[in-house]
Amino acid sequence: MKKLIDYVKKIGQTRLGFVLILLIIYWLKTLWAYYVDFNLDTQGFFQNFIAIMNPLPVGILLLGLSLYIKNTKAFYSVAMTIYIVLFAWLFSNAVYYREFSDYISISTMMATSSVSAGLGEAALKLFRLWDIVYFLDFIAFGFLVYRKAFHWDKTPFHKKSSFAITAFSVLLFSINLFLAEIDRPELLTRGFSNTYIVRALGLPAFLGYNANQTYNAHKDRSGATASDLEPVKQYITEHYAQPNDNYFGIAKGRNVIYLHLESLQQFVIDYKLNVNGVEYEVTPFLNSLYHSSSTLAFPNFFNQVKAGKTSDAETMIETSLFGLNQGSFMVQYGGSNTQQAAPYILSQNGGYTSAVFHGNAASFWNRNNTYKQWGYNYFFDQSYFSKATAENSFQYGLNDKIMFADSIQYLEHLQQPFYTKFITVSNHYPYTTSLIGDEIGFPLANTDDETINGYFATANYLDASIKAFFDYLKATGLYENSVIVLYGDHYGISNSRNPDLAPLIGKDSQTWSDFDNAMMQRVPYMIVVPGMTNGGIFDTYGGEIDALPTLEHLLGIKSDNYLQVGQDLLSSQHSQIVALRTAGSFITPKYTSYEGKIYYTETGLEITNPDEITQKEIDAIKEATAAQLATSDAIQTGDLIRFFDNGLPALDSSQYNYIDSLAAEIALENKLGTQSTSLYSKNGNKSTIELFKAPSYLELHGSTTATSTPNTGTSSTSTSSNSQ
């Protein structure tokens, strides 16, 4: 030990050695924070290797800058200052993460009042006994200085060597970024999650990334004025679709339950997979809903997402505004823009309580911040559910049956009427890692693409999960007093894989076209209103942008009071123009524009030489889609809702805190006493957890029917609640 100390002392007697020691200490502290304080959710050797590596490039770059300084006192002062700044950023994030499960952003630092309001007097309680580890080096350094055992190197470091160190740090960062892109393509353009950025590039790089995002958002926002609202309001007025009298208000006052069907496409509805001459119905329960007289079903409902994928779908469903042309709105603007989303609108029009249930990390797609701006009272993320294991989860979160089972204890304490959203994940690409054990049984398709082969099995698992939840709703009585909306967020099989899928859906791989790709953008959209008898299958062409106005009218709320660019799908005035996020792309009952080509929608034939009338019709549709997208973009990037006065009180996002939400629910129940409207209170203060049953595939079908090699990933096999 003495030899090691002497060796370290010897190294520390040179300027380069001093910087090296600071770098190593900073690196070790960062790894401590990564694996003790943060939840980076690293999986496998590759992600762990990147995480272990990423503190070094920026650390070398910044600490190496001090080596350019010749003056002795200035060198040591600058080196220590840089180190202290790096440490302060690391430690403050470690403490902040304990309360908010996120990292400090530029907007957080700018809004210091919000931060202090969030932490308050409880800040001291966030410190942990092991925090002493972060300060051991300062104690040691102070001791050395006190004992005058520290040697000050007065010899300047060579300039060329300093430059070489800088160049090396840049090279190392480039390698780091390259590896990060391999692990998560489009990491910086799509955003995904702050955790992904930190895990891949480190905390200092995250700060730079966030600063760039904040600058771009501020630039767009600062240039906007109240006068920019006028053309927006004019567009909203001119394009408002009056409600259908047959359906307006039929669900007024009911609970609203959104079921997010991850990656589910419309083609699986009523689809039977043929394996060795035997047909297997992929989504039997969803099919029964689709054909029910209590369901409003829309087979020509298209996803309208772009790079933001699921986050784009959520943005449209909740606000009737599009995501961005590049990146994710929720990531770039969701935590700062003024918004009037469904949860807040319903809280002001019917006193709704709102909650989201999702078995993944809260920070994914910046949900933990965006949901506050949308007015969600509660967000039950992965931290509220069963501990993720190889048996009950995979890389995108808890499997659906576990998520639903674990959600019951929180759902039953919500005050009614409530607006809730359950985000499923098991039917997520690559469709080969989410099912094991007793959940294996539904046959795999027989193509050369494993992704396609597994898609039908995970879709079947999702279907069974939804049925289990419906059974619970019926058993508790919630079903009759609710409206349940089911929607697919985006495609599950990508365009590049569609030719391999073609034979399974009666198409020819050789003649598969971009028109076929366009039609594959259909996703399920069904609104179940128990007790309704005039439901049916509606051929209206629409998309996710239309979901909120449709729901509002069913609840008896006129949507023309809000800045929403969608239209009620049940209205006879609906334009039936589906604008896709890629410029110039659209789908209507008559024409489809996709990948630069125009087709007749009814036949799929390409229009290569349109006559004058046809061209005018196509140009008019292009203008309509461009106007809709431009109006939405003006609202989103200019944060125009902050100038909009429609009588809705301003939302204060700082009042929302997603920590210890169950305690908050129970406290409210106790406060309301006999006035409490929660299911738990209505059930005589008895839990309904035992009423949720989610049998496995094996329990439902008795034996496996798989005809291909079983998947070897992870899956849920539990059928009852098992929460933390």
Active site amino acids: 310
Rounded CA Rg of the chain: 28
Q: Taking the C-alpha atoms of 355, 358, 360 and 364 in order, what is their torsion angle to the nearest 10 degrees? A: -50
**DSSP code for 325:** S
279 beta partners: 274
Contact yes or no for 328/366 (Cβ under 8 A): yes
Of residues 358, 356, 454, the one with CA closest to residue 399:
358
Q: Is 180 exposed, middle or buried (0-12, 13-18, 19+ CB in 10 A)?
A: buried
Beta-strand (E) ranges in 435-535? 482-488, 525-528
Query: CA–CA separation, 35 vs 611, rounded Å?
Result: 65
**Helix H or strand E encompassing 43:** none
Query: CA–CA separation, 14 vs 659, rounded Å?
Result: 48
Phi-psi region of 84 (alpha: psi -120 to 50; beta: other; left: phi over 0): alpha
Contact yes or no for 255/481 (Cβ under 8 A): yes
Q: What are phi and psi of 472, to 5 degrees?
A: -65, -45
Q: Is there a binding annotation on residue 712?
A: no
**DSSP code for 388:** P
Structure tokens given for 561: 């009071």
Residue type, 283: T
**DSSP code for 387:** P
Of residues 171, 195, 147, 190, the one with CA closest to residue 41:
195
Q: Is there a binding annotation on residue 489?
A: yes
Q: Is 383 exposed, middle or buried (0-12, 13-18, 19+ CB in 10 A)?
A: middle
Q: Is there a binding annotation on residue 151?
A: no
Beta-strand (E) ranges in 439-515? 482-488
Q: What are phi and psi of 646, to 5 degrees?
A: -120, 20
Query: CA–CA separation, 359 vs 381, rounded Å?
Result: 5
Contact yes or no for 463/282 (Cβ under 8 A): yes
Q: What are phi and psi of 99, to 5 degrees?
A: -95, -40
Q: Is there a binding annotation on residue 310?
A: yes
Count Cβ neighbours within 10 Å for each residue of 223-237 and write b for 16 or more, e otherwise. Answer: ebeeeebeebeebbe
Q: Which residue has the tokens 């007015």?
A: 375
Q: Is there a binding annotation on residue 428?
A: yes
Of residues 395, 384, 377, the one with CA closest to residue 358:
384
SS3 label, residue 297:
strand
**DSSP code for 301:** E
Query: CA–CA separation, 680 vs 28, rounded Å?
Result: 48
Q: What are phi and psi of 331, to 5 degrees?
A: -75, -45
Q: How far is CA 424 from CA 264, 342, 396, 463, 479, in A?
A: 10, 20, 10, 11, 19
Torsion sign (Cα): 277, 278, 283, 284: positive
SS3 label, residue 358:
strand
Contact yes or no for 402/680 (Cβ under 8 A): no
SS3 label, residue 653:
helix
Residue ranges for the binding site?
A: 262, 310, 428, 489-490
Residue ranges of the annotated binding site for substrate are: 428
